[in-house]
């Protein structure tokens, strides 16, 4: 069994209480590691270390901070296999997919290293002898609370921009992926140009440790990715100290399959995120609306894809899909499948435990639920699992109204060969991201926008970096004989 320590102020430390907790392999249900169980005292120590480091880090020339981010990315590239193996071990990600995600993470740091140089202020015209400027300053200390589905990628997406503009960070990694996060801390600790306290990584449960970070008066801003329910609680806490928050939350993303859609494209693109990482992606398709004229054909294509997915040991190079992340999440996903059946849906693929995996591990077969209805629980709530919810619509249905009738607003997908028709959907859809005949959310240039219960702020790109700054107005009058206006 592995053991490790947290990284605070450039030092490796146990929890002040001495308490630890275990991480579990979701494929075997075996204990992987004992990691520190942080508490309020550890959060306070990490925040104080970040506050002590922040003035010097912000005062460092921008090009130097950019260079440090490049060094951090280079250090990650030397340890990609270790990061991928830990992700596969702790999270159940098939090793081939884990390597892909590990390889993306340093690219996000490298992008931020360049993009942070483009963040500039503005000049405001006020009077002929007065200069008014809006400059962008760092928030100060930011708390970054990381989800369990893509921990290394999301950490780098948030951290690169936050550091690039002069903030320091306290990072709360997900409990499930604690060893992956502490390995990342070890990688960053090897970068001698990174001053102690600029990055601090602690471990512990989200409710206690994440809540303590958000409540801490020494934390100036929050970057959070997770469920809408948790996000709302953290926003309520953050309001007590009026912290700036950027939050990417849940989704129940509709995919609109028009009669003229390329069905192969729609099915393969949708299921790529539906079954990749067990559907544990915020941007996976939550509900397919398929026109009645192509409904049966489209369902058959989903079933064919689902039946060909190789489910098994995440360490096996041939595995396409491993287990879901925990017993708790397994029970939740199965609840949605069972509730859909109870409400009249039909299981046409999967629906339970695959026959080939034995009785250990939190495995769920790739599942297709046909004959679903818009009002079903499984069609309205985020499942976050390998489950396709397929709904038939007719010419009499208002497709835009169906797509918008959700408390979520992360993504909408539109499939049609008539691009002009597809473009007419853009203004009407209540969503932060619209994809026409594609699915491209996770990239360094523009991660995504969120509306409704799916969040606020922006992740990735220059606008995501700007979210970690605050504006300061400066007005300078340079004339000595300025006449005040008469009233």
pTM for the predicted model, two decimal places: 0.96
Catalytic sites, residue numbers? 158, 248, 282, 459
Contact between 163 and 169 (Cβ < 8 Å)? yes
What percent of the chain clears pLDDT 90, i.e. is strictly above it? 90
Three-class DSSP category at 309: coil
Per-residue model confidence as pLDDT tens digits over 91-104: 999 999 999 999 99
Nearest-angstrom CA–CA distance, 204 and 21: 8
Q: Which residue has the tokens 């300078």?
A: 476
For residue 443, the model assigns a pLDDT of 64
Residue 89's alpha-carbon distances to 2, 178, 465, in angstroms, are 12, 11, 32
DSSP conformational letter for 323: -
Confidence label for 196 from pLDDT (cuts 50, 70 and 90): very high
Q: Is the pLDDT of residue 485 over 80?
A: no
Cβ-Cβ contacts under 8 Å for 344 (sequence gap 6 or more): 371, 373, 376
For residue 183, the model assigns a pLDDT of 97
Domains and CATH numbers, the chain: 2-249+454-473 (3.40.605.10), 253-436 (3.40.309.10)
80-91 helix and 178-189 helix, angle to the nearest 10 degrees: 160
Confidence label for 460 from pLDDT (cuts 50, 70 and 90): confident
For residue 286, the model assigns a pLDDT of 97
Beta bridge partners of 256: 289, 414
Q: What one-character-per-residue DSSP string does 222-262 give?
A: EEEES-HHHHHHHHHHHHTTT-EEEEE----EEEEE-TT--
């Amino acid at each position: 069994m592995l053991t490790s320590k947290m990284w605070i102020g450039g030092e490796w430390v146990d929890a002040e209480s001495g308490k630890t907790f275990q991480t579990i392999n979701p494929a075997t249900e075996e204990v992987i590691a004992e990691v520190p169980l942080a508490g309020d005292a550890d959060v306070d120590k990490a925040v104080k270390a970040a506050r002590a480091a922040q003035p010097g880090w912000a005062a460092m020339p921008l090009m130097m901070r950019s260079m440090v981010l490049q060094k951090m990315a280079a250090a990650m590239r030397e340890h990609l296999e270790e990061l991928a193996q830990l992700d596969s071990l702790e999270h159940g990600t098939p090793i081939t997919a884990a390597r892909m995600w590990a390889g993306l993470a340093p690219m996000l740091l490298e992008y931020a290293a360049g993009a942070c140089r483009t963040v500039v202020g503005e000049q405001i015209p006020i009077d002929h002898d007065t200069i008014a400027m809006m400059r962008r300053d760092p928030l100060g200390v930011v708390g970054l609370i990381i989800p369990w589905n893509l921990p290394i990628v999301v950490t780098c997406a948030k951290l690169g921009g936050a550091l690039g503009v002069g903030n320091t960070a306290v990072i709360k990694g997900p409990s499930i992926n604690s060893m992956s996060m502490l390995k990342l801390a070890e990688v960053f600790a090897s970068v001698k140009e990174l001053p102690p306290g600029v990055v601090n990584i602690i471990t512990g449960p989200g409710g206690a440790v994440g809540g303590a970070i958000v409540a801490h008066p020494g934390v100036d801003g929050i970057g959070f990715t997770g469920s809408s329910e948790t996000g709302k609680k953290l926003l309520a806490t953050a309001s007590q100290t009026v912290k700036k928050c950027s939050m990417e939350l849940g989704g129940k993303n509709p995919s609109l399959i028009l009669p003229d859609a390329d069905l192969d494209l729609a099915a393969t693109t949708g299921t790529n995120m539906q079954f990749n990482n067990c559907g544990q992606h915020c941007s996976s398709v939550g509900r397919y609306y398929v026109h009645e004229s192509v409904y049966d054909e489209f369902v058959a294509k989903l079933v064919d894809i689902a039946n060909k997915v190789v489910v098994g040991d995440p360490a096996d190079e041939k595995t396409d899909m491993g287990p879901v992340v925990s017993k708790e999440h397994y029970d939740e996903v199965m609840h949605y499948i069972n509730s859909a059946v109870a409400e009249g849906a039909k299981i046409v693929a999967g629906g339970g435990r695959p026959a080939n995996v034995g009785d250990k591990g939190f495995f769920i077969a790739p599942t297709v639920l046909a004959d679903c209805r818009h009002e079903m629980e499984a069609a309205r709530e985020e499942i976050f699992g390998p489950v396709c919810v397929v709904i038939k619509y007719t010419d009499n249905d208002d497709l835009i109204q169906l797509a918008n009738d959700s408390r979520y607003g992360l993504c909408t997908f539109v499939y049609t060969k008539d691009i002009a028709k597809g473009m007419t959907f853009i203004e009407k859809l209540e969503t932060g991201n619209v994809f026409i005949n594609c699915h491209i959310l996770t990239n360094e240039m523009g991660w995504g926008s969120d509306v409704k219960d799916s969040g606020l702020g922006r992740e990735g790109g220059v606008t995501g970096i700007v979210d970690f700054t605050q504006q300061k107005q400066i007005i300078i009058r340079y004339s000595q004989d300025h006449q005040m206006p008469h009233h």
